[in-house]
Amino acid sequence: MATYDFAVIGAGVSGASVAYELQNEASVVLIEAEAQPGYHSTGRSAALYTPNFGPSVVRRLNAAGRRFFEEPPEGFAETPLLSPRGALTIFKTDDEAPIAALLANGTARDPIHRISVAEALRLAPVLRPEAVGAACFEPGVTDMDVAAIHQGFLRGFRQRGGTLRRAQPVTALVRVDGEWRLTAGDEEIRAATVVNAAGAWGDVLGRMAGARPVGLVPKRRTALVTEGPDGLDLHAMPLVEFAGDAPYLKPDGGRLMASLADETPVEPQDAQPDDMDIAVLVDWLESHTHVTVRKAPRTWAGLRSFVADKNPVVGFDPEQPGLFWLVGQGGYGIMMSPTLARIAAALATGRRLPADIAAAGIDPADLAPDRCRA
Ligand SMILES: Cc1cc2nc3c(=O)[nH]c(=O)nc-3n(C[C@H](O)[C@H](O)[C@H](O)COP(=O)(O)OP(=O)(O)OC[C@H]3O[C@@H](n4cnc5c(N)ncnc54)[C@H](O)[C@@H]3O)c2cc1C
């Protein structure tokens, strides 16, 4: 039976990135249920780096990870991981309170500016003028090359000598004589520590290991890609968000991606778009932009999995020895991945947080699994 220091379960961006970090100092097997790592949430994101988005802990994690994306390790990727996009936030009216609240989210590094309605329509001519009451612009939002990031972690992991198992769902986890015995497909594996990076299935896997759940709720989000209006070059258009958890859209090559920004709680699953959600999204697009959805658009749905405080869960389970959690990445898991992986590798091997991450004001207590059970 093959024996490893760590068995990382789930090869989305979370599992791939922590396996990449751990393999530097330990033997690691990375186990994925699907034939294609990234088949679930990692392959279904909006691919945005949004530094002023999410709870304050998430923002600090993202700020600490930007350097990795801007200057990745030698050989990590052949293309830039971030590329300029910018984000326009549209308000229906010029009511000052919500605009001031958004502007207050800006930082010296990533400011948010108020801009005129005319400027907003110049930046995003796809918008119907009557949909725009006021606007703000955040230049620091970028696109992320998610495939390059995910493949960079997987390739680096293998180059460091790591073992990847695909199409091998973990179906049993038993702790015997201070180590784990895993059943993964038809293979039996031994490991001292299990890292639970199972995305939406985090609590399913935790229960399999005999742990109490952390209260993970997978929330479905729906998206489509369609043609833009004839004659409009969309390549340079910013992300366009409507204030108040409303739908958003961004260029996708020469086409347009739009999401309903829905958050429907569901069981862990291979998420599929609901016909009614797509109909609502198409109606919203046609009433707020000059887009007419003629042909059936490409549609999909993905899961964003949160615990109650919307911070990620990273750390050893205090009640189940040898079980390490790396779940609850919500809608921020790609951009947090370099920093969360370094935090997880440090804590899982009994080290302190890396100095730059501690200096960014990140406290392991904000991420600890037991906070979710209080
Ligand atoms: C519509 C949408 C838009 C988003 N936009 C952004 C964005 O702009 N920026 C951003 O940073 N994030 C975004 N996100 C969030 C981001 O996609 C997720 O936070 C991230 O992909 C989570 O990665 P993960 O590896 O934890 O999960 P996953 O990618 O789901 O990986 C978990 C893996 O575990 C495997 N697994 C589960 N159980 C087992 C088992 N028993 N045995 C073996 N394997 C198992 C699964 O097959 C799966 O591949 C978005 C998400 C959605 C859905």
Distance CA 237, CA 85 (A): 7
Distances in Å between the alpha carbon of 48 and those of 127, 141, 168, 335?
A: 20, 7, 30, 8
> What pLDDT, on the 0 to 100 scale, is given for residue 267?
98
pLDDT at residue 253 greater than cutoff 90:
no
Cα 125 to ligand 1 centroid, rounded to whole Å: 33
Strands 298-306 and 217-226, by their bridges, are antiparallel
From 17, 29, 40, 314, mutation site for ligand 1 pocket: most ligand atoms within 8 A of C-beta: 40
Q: State mean pLDDT over 233-244.
A: 94
Distance CA 226, CA 249 (A): 11
Q: Write down the domain spans for the chain.
A: 2-73+145-216+309-373, 87-139+217-304
Residue 302 CA, closest ligand 1 atom number: 53
Measuring CA to CA, which residue among 87, 85, 86, 89 is closest to residue 100?
A: 89
Strands 82-84 and 142-144, by their bridges, are antiparallel
Cα 278 to ligand 1 centroid, rounded to whole Å: 21
Cα 164 to ligand 1 centroid, rounded to whole Å: 17
Q: What is the pLDDT of residues 206-222, one digit of tens each?
A: 999 999 999 999 999 99
The matching CATH number, chosen from 3.50.50.60, 3.90.1150.10, 3.40.50.300, 1.10.3720.10, for 2-73+145-216+309-373 is: 3.50.50.60
Output the average pLDDT for the chain.
Answer: 97
Residue 335 CA, closest ligand 1 atom number: 11
Structure confidence at residue 295 as a pLDDT band (50, 70, 90): confident
Structure confidence at residue 294 as a pLDDT band (50, 70, 90): confident
From 8, 13, 45, 221, mutation site for ligand 1 pocket: most ligand atoms within 8 A of C-beta: 45
Cα 51 to ligand 1 centroid, rounded to whole Å: 19
Q: State mean pLDDT over 265-273.
A: 98
> In CATH, what is the architecture of 87-139+217-304?
2-Layer Sandwich (3.30)
Three state DSSP letters for the chain: CEEEEEEEECCCHHHHHHHHHHCCCCCEEEECCCCCCCCCHHHHCCCEECCCCCCHHHHHHHHHHHHHHHCCCCCCCCCCCEEECCEEEEECCCCHHHHHHHHCCCCCCCCCEEECHHHHHHHCCCECHHHCCEEEEECCCEEECHHHHHHHHHHHHHHCCCEEECCCCEEEEEEECCEEEEEECCEEEEEEEEEECCHHHHHHHHHHCCCCCCCCEEEEEEEEEECCCCCCCCCCCCEEEECCCCCEEEEECCEEEEECCCCEECCCCCCCCCHHHHHHHHHHHHHHECCCCCCCCEEEEEEEEECCCCCCEEEECCCCCCEEEEECCCCCHHHHHHHHHHHHHHHHCCCCCCHHHHHCCCCHHHCCHHHHHC
Task: State what percent of residues in the chain have pLDDT above 90.
Answer: 97
Tokens describing residue 107: 């930082």
Strands 255-259 and 264-265, by their bridges, are unpaired
pLDDT at residue 245 greater than cutoff 80:
no
From 304, 305, 324, mutation site for ligand 1 pocket: most ligand atoms within 8 A of C-beta: 304
Kindly report the number of other CB atoms within 10 A of residue 47's CB atom. Answer: 18
Q: What is the pLDDT of residues 26-71, one digit of tens each?
A: 999 999 999 999 999 999 999 999 999 999 999 999 999 999 999 9
Cα 12 to ligand 1 centroid, rounded to whole Å: 6
Cα 62 to ligand 1 centroid, rounded to whole Å: 17
> What pLDDT, on the 0 to 100 scale, is given for residue 244?
86
Question: Within 6 Å (CB) of ligand 1, which residues are found?
Answer: 9-15, 31-34, 39-42, 44-48, 169-170, 197-201, 205, 221, 223, 259, 302-304, 329-335
Distances in Å between the alpha carbon of 147 and those of 79, 106, 144, 181?
A: 11, 29, 9, 32
Structure confidence at residue 228 as a pLDDT band (50, 70, 90): very high
Structure confidence at residue 305 as a pLDDT band (50, 70, 90): very high
Determine which residue's CA is closest to atom 51 belonging to ligand 1: 45
> What pLDDT, on the 0 to 100 scale, is given for residue 306?
98
Distance CA 207, CA 214 (A): 10
Determine which residue's CA is closest to atom 13 belonging to ligand 1: 331
Structure confidence at residue 354 as a pLDDT band (50, 70, 90): very high
Determine which residue's CA is closest to atom 27 belonging to ligand 1: 199
Distance CA 167, CA 45 (A): 22
Bridge partners, residue 180, by sequence: 175, 191
